[in-house]
Structure 1
Amino acid sequence: MDVTAEEGRQVIEVLARYVRGSDRRDGNAVAALYTKDAVTELYSRTGPQTYEPILPPLEGPGPIEALVSQAGVPMPAGVFTHHVTADHTVTVDVDTAHLSAQFVLYETRAGRRPEHGWRPGTSGTQGTVRPIESGYYETDLRRVDGRWRITRHRVYNDMPVVIPPG
């Protein structure tokens, strides 16, 4: 079915809210994007076209809320993540949709402000940005009460991912 520009924008906006919530580690905001019966699956690439699960499927918004809120180790002061998504493709069939997108996750480290301020002549952004993850999102959505919600979200990481137990 042809996708209207507005429908495509609404579907892509769900992913935009997902990555922004993830970067803020706001598990409640991310979980609110899911249906009650949603499933999230995380994979690591093992070959050119093969992947293996990182965790058992996460069922419902509760486990995704916990994963986003507690992802990894606590970040040191001045360290954040920043997702960028690209090459979005959207298909819509009445009240269901599929979104495919590439992603890159960056780590940003703010430069430490000297105790007595920046030296005269200092200018520009102080810190570093480096890519730490990349891959693909394959996301199925359903329109619920007029709003798009995630029903199945698959994250295909280009590299191995280790999630500590706990």
Structure 2
Amino acid sequence: MSPGRGDVCLPTVVSCVMDDFGGDVELRRLIDRQAIRDVVSRYCRGIDRMDLDAVRACYHPDATDEHGSFTGTVDEYLAWIGRLLPRYTSTMHLTGNHLVDFRDDTPDLARSETYGIAFHRSADPAPRGNLTTGFRYIDDFARRDGVWRIARRVATTEWVRVDDAAGWWPVPEGLRTGRRDRTDAVYAPFPADPDPSA
């Protein structure tokens, strides 16, 4: 079987990445795949926490995004999503299947396909505000200065489901809930390491 797109030991890639890991192309690709996956996960966190600085950090400055009814630059996308997100009291983006294909001619370009489901809850009682979408992120990634970021994103909508607001139960009192800003628990500093001698 001859190597094809997406294989980790492509002859055209070996010469480009041998020096980084002593010739271990598979190790290099595993690390690259995880770095790319982390970018997608940080993007989802940024959206759900309404942390647009975190979202911006997932893109190269000259990136473009085609996202539903929007197509434009990353700066235009951030302005658009910044107006859209406050319509919802909460969002949650869950990602599943994630596949990365590397360009045959360079180790610094890749295409990532991510399947996901996004939940949107609105204070508006109209069902249109409480929706669930199935989506894919098709991301062209570029590694520049050693860092993988999105250079171009196409977000596809695969299906949409609308739920009646009456179907949402309130979170019981006393339970910690997520926050849509940097007061969320995920931004809390790490606790000090316990003294192993104690």
**TM-score normalised over the length of structure 2:** 0.57
Instruction: Show the counterpart of 2:75.
Output: 62
Task: Select which of 104, 115, 136 maps to 2:117.
Answer: 104
**Structure 2 CA distance, aligned partners of 1:74 and 1:135?**
20
Alignment check: 8 A CA contact 1:142 1:151 kept:
yes
2:141·2:150 contact (CA, 8 Å) conserved in 1?
yes
Distance 1:34 1:137 in 2: 13
Q: Kindly, what percent of the aligned residue pairs are identical?
A: 26
Quick one: structure 1 residues 27 and 67, their matched pair in 2 at CA, closer, same or farther if it must change by over 3 Å? farther
- Which of 35, 56, 71 is the aligned partner of 1:10? 35
Distance in 2 (CA, whole Å) between partners of 1:13 and 1:131 is 26
Task: Quote the Cα distance in structure 2 between the aligned partners of 1:29 and 1:66.
Answer: 14
Which residue matches 1:153?
153
Gaps of at least 5 residues in structure 1 are 44-53, 110-129, 161-166
1:27 aligns with 2:52: yes
Stretch deviating more after TM superposition (6-15 or 34-43): 34-43
Counterpart residue type for residue 119 of structure 2: Y
The equivalent residue for 1:92 is 102
Q: Which stretches of structure 1, 4 residues or longer, exceed 6 Å deviation after superposition?
A: none
Larger relative helix fraction: 2
What is the TM-score of this pair, normalised by structure 1? 0.67
| Structure 2 unaligned regions, length at least 5 | 1-6, 9-25, 123-129, 161-198
Report how many aligned residue pairs link the two structures. 125
2:142 is aligned to 142
User: Higher strand share goes to which structure?
Assistant: 1
Structure number, greater radius of gyration: 2
Greater relative CO (CA pairs within 8 A, separation 6+): 1
What's the offset of the Cα at 1:32?
Answer: 1.8
Query: In 1, distance between residues paired with 2:47 and 2:136?
Result: 15
- How far the C-alpha of 1:154 sits from its partner, in A, is 0.6
Could you tell me how far 1:64 is from its partner in structure 2?
2.2
Displacement after TM superposition at 1:40 (Å) = 0.4
CA-atom RMSD in angstroms: 2.1
